[in-house]
Amino acid sequence: MIKIAQLSCGTEYSSVQYEIDKAARSVGASMTYPDVSASDIDAAVERFGFKPQSPQLKLMIARAVQLADRKYDADAVFIATCFRCAEGALVRNELRRFIQDNTKLPVVTYSFTERLKAAQLLTRMEALVTVVTRKELLARERQTGVTVGLDSGSSTTKAVVMIDNVIAGKDWTPSGDVIRSAETVLENALKEAGVLMKDVEAIGTTGYGRYRLGKHYNAKLVQEELTVNSKGAVWLANKQRGEATILDIGGMDNKAITVRDGVPDNFTMGGICAGASGRFLEMVSKRLKIEVTELGSLADKGDWRNAKMNSYCSVFGIQDLVTTLGDGKTFEDVAAAACHSVAEQVYEQQLQEIDVRHPIIQVGGTSLISGLVKAVGEVLGSKPIVPENSQYIGAVGGAILSSGFLEG
Amino acid sequence: MSAERETRLIVISPASEITPDQVSRAIHAMGKNVTVKESCYGAVVEGQRDIVRQVVSEIKSMDPNGVFSKVRAYPAGDPRRCRAHHGTRPGFAQLEQEWNDLWKIQYGLDRADRGEKARKRKTPGKLPVGEFKKICEVKR
Amino acid sequence: MKIFIDPPNSLILFDLVERSGHEPLSTMAAIQEKIDRTEIDMPPMNLSLEDVMLGLKYAGIEVPSGVRGRLAVWGPMIEAAEAAVIMEDCPYSFGCVGCHRANLMVRYMIKRKNIPVLNVNYPNNEDEATDLVVEIREFLEGLK
């Protein structure tokens, strides 16, 4: 059983502890609380240096110190506080930093409301468990044999066929029925690669539809997208060694993952609102009556400063868009403002929860929208790397990791 | 368990002569229909509310100012709060702290029984600016 | 009389109030009511989303859920209280009283209720402990 140490405030009184335990159980883990005695607490808070007013936050700090001093054994760390609590948010983030500075344990942070359900935590918990249990597999740097990766995302479904560490075939389609979408892209990818299904030695599935696809294709690897995408991203960007941050602005949620030698050690996954995701850019394109693929080059020509837009909420964002167009702003400026707004939201909501390490590798379908990449670069002060085939990270990661099951 | 269930923590002041072992043996000897679990601070006793209260009251009479008690929400050994499963429960550190200080309360109870009155509470105020200024000037 | 104690999980206050023949209103008893419900199975505390929503009676949606959830447990106790004993400067108050903001709100709600309130300090030495015991005793006897 994988032990996930929980450092939290407010989970029980928010009625979400049950959901946290449920999510952990469903991925073969259990939540544990590092033991502390009353006499440990003052010294721990003093050492940490941040002295919160709330006693439960002090207890969180003391528990973190137990982990840092190896007085308590755990495999991973889950740090959570109530959404909208300023004191909690400060302690949560600084404790995450403290754990990372003092241990090698993978960490995930979360701010919850009373409406948190286990399903929202599943991918995060599963990723923590994967990092612990599949360390060797995740360290894999080469693909071998003939393998397929299938990424069933909320917006698009992607397939990649890899043969001896080379992408031999690939295809994508907007997601419809999980199985049918996958069948279509797989068929085309196989055709391009010039291999038949019977030649395929292993399949890896990831994304929201991973379990259904895994069952349908009898996949050797069925794994959440945080670890799989990380692998695909560092392979595509040829940054398998050292540190990096992977930024994936997805159709439904955004992921920011820090990796060390290709293995994630901290990640955030946002998605309380679609305002800061690729979905907003799709909505903007629709309103401008252009393809989302054209939005990027349009944005490149515009200046976001000329149009006011805030995508914190996609409904208000579209209202801003309508007003801006009504004011006679150009499509170029509006497109640039939409991209800038998404980049800003990602910065405000995701990137505050991790320590950005360079280089930044931007991936996923939205990384093809050049205006968005430019906006991310402007907001972060450093231009992200967008590797070739960046939209195929999940499928590539699935193909690489599934080949790990072929040997031995 | 029925709504009439009561679980009580019996906590012995560190300054008391009574031991947890004595407490649990005394409860067993009462022959009441309660369960007892010895703990490092005293005991956990559980059963029907009126019987538990009777038991607690009898135990307290062994050392009225040295034995303390409060109710506990969870039944003894409840897996939802079991230390073996989840580590210490959230209120444990507080209980530990209060137990540490019970000797002072015991002392206070003894003195109150002897009719001592409370001292006038002094509220520590800040140094008046004028006085502070004088100190600063002297040091200069 | 029903006496609200703050911190509501304090062993010292619970015991001293009970010794004086009054009924301490404690978190432990409130939580027991929750956990003994058989119709809900949400360990560890059996607090449901509906329970947290009850907290909206005391604080708006912009207030963190942990504060509202706590107020949902204590609110009814404060409403039922006929007097209160508040212990200031407690060295630790974890678990149920782990949130400083919720604790501030509880103090305010007690004040607004306009019931007899005694404020005492957590004792640092024997003299202060004597003061605490005597003050609580006198206050509670005066209520009878």
Distance in angstroms (rounded) separating the CA atoms of residues C110 and C88: 14
Q: What is the pLDDT of residues A70-81, one digit of tens each?
A: 999 999 999 999
**Chain C residues 36-55 within an 8 A CB cutoff of chain B:** 36, 43-45
Which residues on C lie below 8 Å from A112 (Cβ)?
65
Residues B98, A278: Cα–Cα separation, whole Å: 54
User: Considering the domain boundaries, does residue A232 fall inside one?
Assistant: no
**d(Cα B17, Cα A318) in Å, to the nearest integer?**
74
DSSP per-residue string spanning A207-237:
ETTHHHHHHHHT-SEE--HHHHHHHHHHHHT
pLDDT value of position B126: 87
- Do residue B73 and residue C14 have CB atoms under 8 angstroms apart? no
Domain stop point among A133, A151, A171: A133
Q: Please tell me the distance in Å from A270's CA to the nearest CA on chain C.
A: 18
pLDDT at residue B139, rounded to an integer: 67
- Chain A, chain C: beta-carbon pairs less than 8 Å apart: 97
Same-domain check for residues A151 and A271: no
In this predicted structure, the answer to whether residue A216 has a pLDDT above a threshold of 50 is yes
Residues of C in contact with B102 (CB under 8 A): 11-12
pLDDT for A316 equals 75
C93/A13 Cβ within 8 A: no
Q: For residue C7, is the peptide bond before it cis, meaning its omega torsion is within 30 degrees of 0?
A: yes
- Average of per-residue pLDDT values in chain A: 92
- Proportion of chain B above pLDDT 70, given as a percent: 89
Based on the domain organization, do A265 and A366 belong to the same domain?
Answer: yes
CB contact under 8 A, A36 and B93: yes
Q: Which residues from A are below 8 Å from B88, CB to CB? A: 33, 35-37
Residue A149's pLDDT band (boundaries 50, 70, 90)?
A: very high
Window 55-114 of C: residues touching A by CB (8 A cutoff) are 62-70, 73, 91-101
Asked if C126 is an interface residue toward chain B (Cβ–Cβ < 8 A), one would say yes
A219 and A351 belong to one structural domain: no
- Give per-residue pLDDT as tens, A372-391: 999 999 999 999 999 999 99
Instruction: Look at residue A162 in the predicted model and tell me its pLDDT.
Output: 98
- For C69, which residue in chain A has the nearest alpha carbon? A13
Across B19-42, average pLDDT: 95
Q: Are C67 and C99 in contact (CB under 8 A)?
A: yes
Residue A104 and residue A146 share a domain: no
Q: What confidence tier does A241 reach under pLDDT thresholds 50, 70, 90?
A: very high
Examine the domain organization and report whether A166 and A35 are in the same domain: no
Residue spans of the domains in chain C: they are 2-143
For residue C126, give the chain B residue with the closest CA: B104
| Confidence at residue A278, expressed as pLDDT on a 0 to 100 scale | 83
Residues of B in contact with C45 (CB under 8 A): 80
Residues belonging to chain A with any Cβ–Cβ distance to chain B shorter than 8 Å: 12, 31-39, 41, 56, 59
Q: Average of pLDDT values for C85-97?
A: 77
Does pLDDT of A349 surpass 70?
Answer: yes
Report the C-alpha gap between B53 and B63 in whole angstroms. Answer: 16
- CATH number of the domain within which A67 lies: 3.40.50.11900
Do A243 and A371 fall within a single domain?
yes
Cβ-defined contact of B97 to A34 (cutoff 8 Å): no
Residues of B in contact with C9 (CB under 8 A): 70, 91, 94
Of A61-65, C45-49, C106-110, C134-138, which range is least confident?
C45-49
pLDDT digits (tens, 9 = 90+) for B6-18: 999 999 999 999 9
- With 70 as the cut, is the pLDDT of residue A408 above it? no
Q: Are residue A306 and residue A348 in the same domain, yes or no?
A: yes
Which region among A83-87, A179-183, A262-266, A395-399 has the lowest average model confidence (pLDDT)? A262-266
> A311 to chain C, minimum CA–CA distance in Å?
20
Please report the number of interchain residue pairs, chain A to chain B, with beta-carbon separation below 8 angstroms. 26
**pLDDT of the residue at B1:** 45
List Cβ neighbours of A294 (8 Å cut-off, separation of 6 or more): A285
Question: Is pLDDT of A363 > 90?
Answer: yes
**pLDDT score, position A51:** 95
Q: Is residue A332 scored above 70 in pLDDT?
A: yes
Q: What is the mean pLDDT of residues C121-135?
A: 94
Domains of chain B: 5-113 (3.30.70)
Q: Closest Cα of chain A to B35: distance in Å?
A: 27
Handedness of CA A304, A306, A312, A318 (dihedral sign): negative
Tell which CATH architecture fits domain C2-143. Answer: 3-Layer(aba) Sandwich (3.40)
Lateral strand order in the sheet of A360-363? A29-32, A2-8, A76-82, A107-112, A263-269, A254-260, A243-249, A360-363
Residues 6+ apart with CB under 8 A from C80: C2, C25
Is B90's pLDDT higher than 70? no
Residues of B in contact with A56 (CB under 8 A): 90
Indicate if the pLDDT at residue B107 is higher than 90.
yes
Give, as one character, the DSSP assignment of residue A177: S
Question: Residue B97 and residue A36: Cβ atoms within 8 Å?
Answer: no
Q: How far is B129 from chain C (nearest CA, A)?
A: 27
Does B87 have pLDDT greater than 90? no
Residue A391 dihedral angles phi and psi, to the nearest 5°: -75, -10
- Closest partner residue to A38 (CB to CB) among B87, B90, B93 is B93
- Tell me the C-alpha to C-alpha distance, in Å, between residue A41 and each of B48, B95, C91, C95: 37, 14, 10, 14
C29-36 average pLDDT score: 87
| A75 and A165 inside one domain | no
Of A12, A31, A37, the CB nearest to B93: A37
Q: Do C92 and B94 touch (CB under 8 A)?
A: yes
pLDDT at B77: 80
The structure's pTM equals 0.87
Residue A234 domain flag:
no
ipTM of this complex? 0.92
Question: How many domains, chain A?
Answer: 3
pLDDT tens digits for range B47-68: 999 999 999 999 999 999 999 9
**Chain B residues 85-104 with a CB less than 8 Å from chain C:** 86, 89-95, 97-99, 101-102, 104
Q: Are residues A51 and A89 in the same domain?
A: yes
Q: Which residues of B touch A41 (CB under 8 A)?
A: 93
Q: Average pLDDT over chain B, rounded to whole?
A: 89
By C-alpha distance, which of A35, A53, A231 is closest to A149? A231
Q: Are residues A47 and A156 in the same domain?
A: no
Calculate the CA dihedral of residues A66, A69, A74, A80 and round it to 10 degrees: 50
Domain boundary pick from A106, A133, A160: A133
Within this chain, do residues A377 and A268 fall inside the same structural domain, yes or no?
yes
Q: How far is A54 from chain B (nearest CA, A)?
A: 13
For residue A382, tell me if it sits in a domain. Answer: yes
Distances (CA, A) of A254 to A243, A250, A355, C102: 20, 5, 16, 32
**Burial (Cβ within 10 Å: 0-12, 13-18, ≥19) of residue A228:** buried
Which one-letter DSSP state was computed for residue A385? B
Owning domain of residue A338: 239-386
Cα A385 from chain centre: 17
- Which residues of chain B have a CB within 8 Å of the CB of A37? 88, 93, 96
